[in-house]
Amino acid sequence: MISLKLLCVLFAVIAAVSGGSLTKCARIEPLVYAVEPHRNLTVYCVLNQTCVQESGFATRAEELYWEINGERIPDSQYTANESVSAVTFQHALSSSNTLNCNINLYGHVKTTLHGAFFNMGYPPEKPQNLSCICYNKDRLTCTWDPGRPTLIPTNYTLKQSWKALDQDYSSKLLQYDSISSPADRARGRKSAVSKYGHFKKQRPRRDGAREDCIAKQSNSCTLSSLMFQVYIDTTFWVVAKNNLGIAESDRFTVDIVDIYKPNAPAIVRAVSAVQLQRALKIEWLNPGDYFKLKYNLRYRKKDSADWEEVPSVDLATHRTSYTLQDLQPYTTYILSLRCKLVDERGYWSDWSKEYEATTPESAPSRGPELWRKVGEAESNGTRTVRLMWKDLGTYANGKILGYNVTLKTPSRLLDAFYTSERECSVTVPRDRVQATIVAYNSYDVSPPSSVIIPPATRRGTLPPEIDVKAFPKDHGLWVEWKGLPSTSVYGYILEWCGNAEEQTCEWQREPASATGAFLRGDLKPLTYYGIKVHPLYRDGSERPKYADAYLEQGVPEEGPTVHSKTVEKKRAVLVWTEVPLHNRNGFITNYTLQYGTKNGPMTSVTLNGTQLEYTMTSLTGDTVYHVSVTANTEKGGRAGPPFTFSTDKFDPGEVEAIVVSSCIGFLLLLLVIGILFCNKREFIKKHIWPNVPDPSKSNIAQWSPQTPTRHDSKNHPFQDGSFTDVSVVEITADEKKSYSEQDLKSVDLMKKNTSEGFSSGIGGSSCLSSPRLSISDTDEVESSQNTSSTVQYSTVIISGYRGQQPTVPVQPMFTRSESTQPLLESEERPDEQQVLEIPNQYFKQNCTQEDTAGRLQAFLQENLPPQEVLNQNQHLSGPSHETDIHGFSVGQNVSIEGQPATAEIDTAVKSYLPQTVRQGGYMPQ
């Protein structure tokens, strides 16, 4: 294994040595260094056969192969014979390329015989637009346009040649002598001889060449002062050269003086004097003494960007100073200077470095702008006045040190004081007062400014009004007025306020001759300005005029907010709020209202800018509408938030009309039913509610043995017994009959109770029913008013205490049963007193009013034991007292439905109880 590695290394070394000797036997022709893109290139690898034979290798050109940038070129692109191998390229692969001619020694050892390196590029184009400038005879720079980039190294050379013209030596001498100043004339003539003296000997004309300028850049080259001459025609041209070609520019012939550009002069000082408050003496240094120059001088205020220039005729001669006049006092100016050959040849120099200078102070050129705000008068007539004045600015002509304020009336001086502020508050009397202010600096005082404070009580007619308009103009806000002659006022005050937050009102003063002015201040677009113009009348009266304007209008920032004022079925009143002033961004010219249903078409209405309410008509009831309002300016509009409302289902009063008509119809229906009821009263009464006797009015209740208020208990034969009063139902008879008292007395007690109209308490018509009891024989027949439930049974109590026999005859008692079923107490409790129930049908079907007593007695005989019947008969036939069911005294005549009778009833039976009392208690029914 080790021996094999050693053999391989040894073989490689031998191959390298052998190949190294072989590389001296090949070369590539031609050796190119640049190739144009998309251009064919053919190169050759040539073998020196003699050298090959000496190297010990039998190598032929057919064994060679080519590589470019490390990649083998296909064999189809090259040809070969015994000693030459040729390859043709369609184009270069990259901007930089490496080409190798190779051979494989011993069949597999790659050996490079020769190589070449070349770039892809272009030949130079012809340089264009050659121009030259001579800078103050210190250097000369020429520039040109090199054209398309070559992509390969290219050399640019600026060449020049000059011609000595066949001309008189004296003319050349005089020409050169004119460029120097008179003080240096001798030195200049000497220089001219040294430079142009040889021209006189040069005949005929001879051309000469100067040193070339090798450009460091592809588009310019600079020559030093030793490489060019003035006042001689010099020809310049540019030569461009690279591996792919050579190109030359056109010739450019010029006298150096014609392309001369001097350096800028240097301002050394600007002198100001107190005696010349409006002037500055400027001094400078010229760039050299080679030529005579002329100048341009410009100046501006420090806070301004606009330059002013001194007329060129004032600086058309060679000089080193100039006095600048008509300047503002105590003002800082920026100065700058440039120069050019006096004969207008060549170029202007650059502007010099700016120089600052300040003029001296002088008296202020005008008084401060003065205005006042008058407060309310006090009880004693005095007023507090706020005096305000503006900074003089550029009219101060110096530093303002303070202000003198004077207050006086037409008759006397009120006050005079000094202040350094620009406002103050004073107290003045009720009279007319004139306020005067004077500003002063270190040099002098300003003219006075005055304002009239009118008297507290002013009489007379007001001065005439003026017409005021305000509108944007020339990027400012212009206010103009008319209507007053200049003799009636001594000035105008313009006062304006913006709508921006924390923005105070500003004002300015204009002379009496003015009819308009621009508002001075920091005005902003999209801001509303309320403007007030005060004419300053000589008597102090005021009548300001108002105007408003925008410097620039825009679209409102928000739209109106809509809400409903009234909503009805077919009509709605909408109102909306104005857009806030600071969000309008312009004047509202009109409003656009749009409304409609969700899926229906929208209706648009245009309203004027002052209308804030609109009435919508012809709407549909119980419908939802969508509304939006847009506020428009001259620049566009902005819609407010959408608003939705629903119309009513009924109009106002429509519900009331329906209710009233329904009530009227219902009342009419009730009226018709009432009429029908009255006409069919008997028919309806018969079928709906028959007459029901009222037990409370029946005199059977007087049979109760326990009525302490109506009889004396010690005389009652059954005072130890328990009896129940009888509920009596009164039923009115159909006919009214009269009976005499004698007939009534002939009837027994039971007959009396039945024939006199007392009811047994049984509902319906029965033989116990009788005409209604009345106090007088002339009372009308009354109808029954009670419609109580039908009582099916009446109970006759015939026994006394349970288990005892009464010692006196028992009087039968009637009680009302509330039940419609038969009473079964006697069956369940036989030891108690016996109660006989008499059905109503017995009396109703078998009795008449006249035989009630007899039938009742027969009924009792059929249903009671003999002893009880005997006792009952004795009781019925016993003596009685004359009284009525209401407890009247004995012997009183009572009329029962036209049937006169005298009822003699035991005083023990004068009242009734609603229930049957047994053994001292109540027995439920």
The CATH number assigned to the domain holding 287 equals 2.60.40.10
What is the 8-class DSSP label of residue 718?
T
Beta-sheet pairing, 26-29 with 489-498:
unpaired
Q: Are residues 787 and 918 in the same domain?
A: yes
Residue 97's pLDDT band, with cuts at 50, 70 and 90, is confident
Q: Can you read off the two tokens belonging to residue 615? A: 């009435």
Cα four-point dihedral sign 903, 907, 909, 913: positive
Q: Please tell me the pTM assigned to this model.
A: 0.48
Residue 825's pLDDT band, with cuts at 50, 70 and 90, is very low
Assess contact for 125 and 147: CB atoms under 8 A.
yes
Q: Are residues 109 and 253 in the same domain?
A: no
Q: Are residues 599 and 492 in the same domain?
A: no
Mean pLDDT of 522-537: 91
What backbone torsions phi and psi does residue 514 show, to the nearest 5 degrees?
Answer: -75, 145
Q: Are residues 621 and 537 in the same domain?
A: no
- Lowest average pLDDT, out of 278-282, 406-410, 729-733, goes to 729-733
Residue 458 within a domain: no
**pLDDT in the model for residue 205:** 38
Q: How far apart are CA 335 and CA 725, in angstroms?
A: 143
Residue 579 within a domain: yes
Domain that holds residue 32: 13-120
Tens digit of each residue's pLDDT (9 = 90 or more) over 400-426:
999 999 999 988 999 999 999 999 999
Residue 300's pLDDT band, with cuts at 50, 70 and 90, is very high
CA distances from 724 to 21, 765, 906, 911, 920 (A): 170, 24, 15, 10, 10
Q: In this predicted model, which residue has the larger pLDDT, 588 or 655?
A: 588
Q: Are residues 750 and 838 in the same domain?
A: yes
Q: Are residues 539 and 619 in the same domain?
A: no
Residue 556 within a domain: no
Tens digit of each residue's pLDDT (9 = 90 or more) over 241-272:
998 899 999 999 998 889 999 999 999 999 88
Beta-sheet pairing, 545-550 with 528-537:
antiparallel
Q: Are residues 761 and 855 in the same domain?
A: yes
Residue 557 within a domain: no
Residue 320 within a domain: yes
Q: Are residues 436 and 472 in the same domain?
A: no
Q: Is the pLDDT of residue 774 over 60?
A: no
Assess contact for 897 and 733: CB atoms under 8 A.
yes
**pLDDT in the model for residue 138:** 84
DSSP calls for 81-103: -SSEEEEEESS-SSSEEEEEEEE
Q: Among 218, 236, 260, which residue terminates a domain?
A: 260
Residue 891's pLDDT band, with cuts at 50, 70 and 90, is very low
Q: In this predicted model, which residue has the larger pLDDT, 594 or 118?
A: 594
Q: Are residues 116 and 133 in the same domain?
A: no
Residue 3 within a domain: no
Q: Are residues 31 and 98 in the same domain?
A: yes
Q: Are residues 887 and 849 in the same domain?
A: yes
Q: Among 92, 120, 148, which residue terminates a domain?
A: 120
Mean pLDDT of 70-96: 81
Residue 373 within a domain: no
- Total domain count, the chain: 8
Residue 584 within a domain: yes
Q: Are residues 290 and 421 in the same domain?
A: no
Q: Among 93, 120, 147, which residue terminates a domain?
A: 120
Assess contact for 12 and 32: CB atoms under 8 A.
no
